[in-house]
Every structure is written in C-alpha cells, then in structure tokens.
Structure 1
Amino acid sequence: MSIVIRRAAPGDAAELLRLIKALARYEREPDAVKATEESLGQTLFGENPQVFAHIVEMDGRVRGIALWFLTYSTWTGRPSLYLEDLFVEEEARGTGAGRALFRVLAQEAKARGCARIDWAVLDWNEPARGFYRSMGGFHSEGWQPWRMEGEALERLAE
C-alpha cells in the first residue's frame, strides 16, 4: 500500500467536502456542514487563498485531509500554523497516513517560519488525543476556546 501526501488542487473540492462531511458525522454533528464544493473552491483555490489543504492518497484513493491556515503569535513574533481539521477515514487509520499527513504539516510550518502548530480536539475524542500525544502534542492548559457567530456577530457588525 502506497501513501502519498499532496497539496489539494482545484479538482479535489468534491473529495474534500466528502471527507469534511465524514468528519462531521464522526464528531456527532452530521448536519453542521454548510460548506459546498463552490465555497471550498473559492476559499482554497481562489485568487488569494487564506486556507490550505493537504490530501492523503492511498493506492490512488483519497483517504484523508488536513485543512489549515496561518495565525500569528505576538508573543513569539512569528506565524503559527492552525490545523482546522485533520481526518483520516476509519479504514485507513493505523496505517501511518495520519502521522505522514502531520509530518507534512510540520514541514510546512518549518518552511513558513512558524513557531508552532495549534489545533483543537473534542474532549471526548480520546483516540485523537492519544494520537496527538504519541507525536509530542499536548493540551494547552489555561486557554479556553471562545467564539462569536450568527446573530451576535451580525449585531456587533452593525
């Protein structure tokens, strides 16, 4: 079995969306995905993309994805790579595909001068937490994720 990691290309939008929906089902939010092939195409492959993706292919079939973007740390004075989603299909887990994908992200972060890679993990997702720990990842204590969306965002923007 061959594992190939590559940057996503415009023709990959359908596969990206398929795996994003599979991730949403895994994370117990099957109806949460609002992304479309069009929106993915625009944000990932438009004129000035701010979001990037890598794909895992195994024996020519897309089996996993990593979607990421850059943030900035004022404390380090350097960019950070923020991993929005990492997903490998269940049948491909345990093959080294996820580790290979994360290795490419580490190489990307290093090439871009990033001080770190950040991501979030659901508190109940012990398999993912164990996977990240096995590579040296750790839970960042003290910082809590916050969000503004929907009506609150609209009101504040007015």
Structure 2
Amino acid sequence: MTVIVREPEEADHRQWQDLFSNYQRFYRGHIPPETVDFTWQRIQDPASDMGGLVAELDGQLIGLTHFLYHDSTWNSKKSCYLEDLFVDKQARGCGAARLLIEQVEHIARESGAFRLYWHTQEYNGAARSLYDSIMPPSSFMVYRKNL
C-alpha cells in the first residue's frame, strides 16, 4: 500500500470536504460553508495563489494540505505558507504528512519561492514531532487577532 500525493480533482470534493471538516474539528474551529466552498474553488483554479494537495491510500483520501504564496519585504521572491495540513486519525503514521510537506516544498521550489513556512499549536505534539524531524522550529512567536 503506497500513499499517493496529488492535486485534488473534482471527484474528490466530498472526501476533501470531510477531511477539511475533521481538520476544523481537531482545532476546535468552524469555517463557514461558503468559505469552505470558496477554498475549494481557489485550490481548483490554476490562476489562484492558493494550492492544495491530497494524500490517497487504497483509493481513499486520507490527508490534505493547502498552501499559498505571498509577497515579502525580505525578498523579491514569494514566500510559500503551508496553511493547513491534516491526515485522518486512522491513517496517521503511514508517512502521508511528510509526503505532503515534501511535495509542497518541491512545488514551492519549482515556483521560485524563497521560503516555505508553517506553524502549529503548541499542544500538537504529534505534528511537532514530525515537523522537528524536518527542520528546527524558528524562534518567532505568532500573534494573531481576528478582525
């Protein structure tokens, strides 16, 4: 059984939506349905600065990631922000999360980005264990205010 990482297709919409819903539940969040629909549209649009990937195992989607590009004052090239990463609880440990990150890194390099970055919550020990094996955390704290 091999995990396949690929771009999501229209036929994946329902499974993607279920994974994205579980991701929101994991972080105790709620994204309005119209925003979820808009996110799906953006990751399907090749002209968008937002991209997405899914991880598939035995014909079922088990994971997803969303990433976007933005300008920076620190470089003339774009930064790539890996905003969402989720693997279904039943499939964790199969390497899907690492493969998703590696594929985003590959895409970001190919697009000419100068930086790939992401963050997670402090209590997410399983994710932090994986992330720490990929690269050390930065010393920056994230401050955020919803408007």
CA distance in 2: counterparts of 1:91 and 1:97, whole angstroms: 12
Q: Deviations over 1:5-59 (max 9, x none)?
A: 1011233222222111101121233xx1213564334322247423211000001
Equivalences for residues 104-143 of structure 1 within 5 A: 104-138=103-137, 140-143=138-141
Amino acid at match of 2:82: L
- Deviation of 1:118 after TM superposition, in Å, equals 1.5
Q: Counterpart in 2 of 1:53? A: 52
For 1:67-146, list aligned pairs within 5 A: 67-138=66-137, 140-146=138-144
Which digits, 9 at most, give the CA deviation of each residue in 1:80-133, with x for residues without a partner? 111110001111111111111111111001101111112121121111111100
For normalisation by structure 1, the TM-score amounts to 0.82
1:21 corresponds to: 21
The letter for the 2-side match of 1:22 is N
Equivalent-residue separation in structure 2 for 1:85 and 1:26 (angstroms)? 12
% same residue: 27
Point out which structure has higher relative CO (alpha carbons under 8 A, 6+ apart).
Answer: 2
- 1:67 partner SS: strand
CA contact (8 A) 1:70 1:79 kept: yes
Deviates more, 1:58-67 or 1:46-55: 46-55
Write the letter of the residue equivalent to 2:144. W
Q: What SS does the aligned partner of 2:33 have? A: coil
* TM-aligned CA distance change 1:87 to 1:77, over 3 Å: same
Q: Does the 8 Å CA contact 1:17/1:35 hold for their aligned counterparts?
A: no
What is the identity, as a one-letter code, of the residue corresponding to 1:145?
Y
Partner Cα separation in structure 2 for residue 50 and residue 14 of structure 1: 23
Offset at residue 71 of structure 1 (A): 1.4
How many angstroms apart in 2 are the aligned matches of 1:124 and 1:48? 36
Q: What amino acid maps onto 1:34 in structure 2?
A: P
User: Which amino acid is the alignment partner of residue 33 of structure 2?
Assistant: A
Q: Is the 8 A contact 1:54 1:65 kept in 2?
A: yes
TM-score (norm 2): 0.88
Partners of 2:33 and 2:25 in 1: how far apart?
A: 14
CA RMSD of aligned residues (A): 1.9
Equivalent residue, structure 2, for 1:5: 5
Aligned residue number for residue 145 of structure 2: 147
After superposition, the Cα gap between the structure-2 partners of 1:95 and 1:47, relative to the gap in structure 1 and judged at 3 Å, is closer
What are the ranges of 5 or more consecutive residues in structure 1 without an aligned counterpart? 150-158
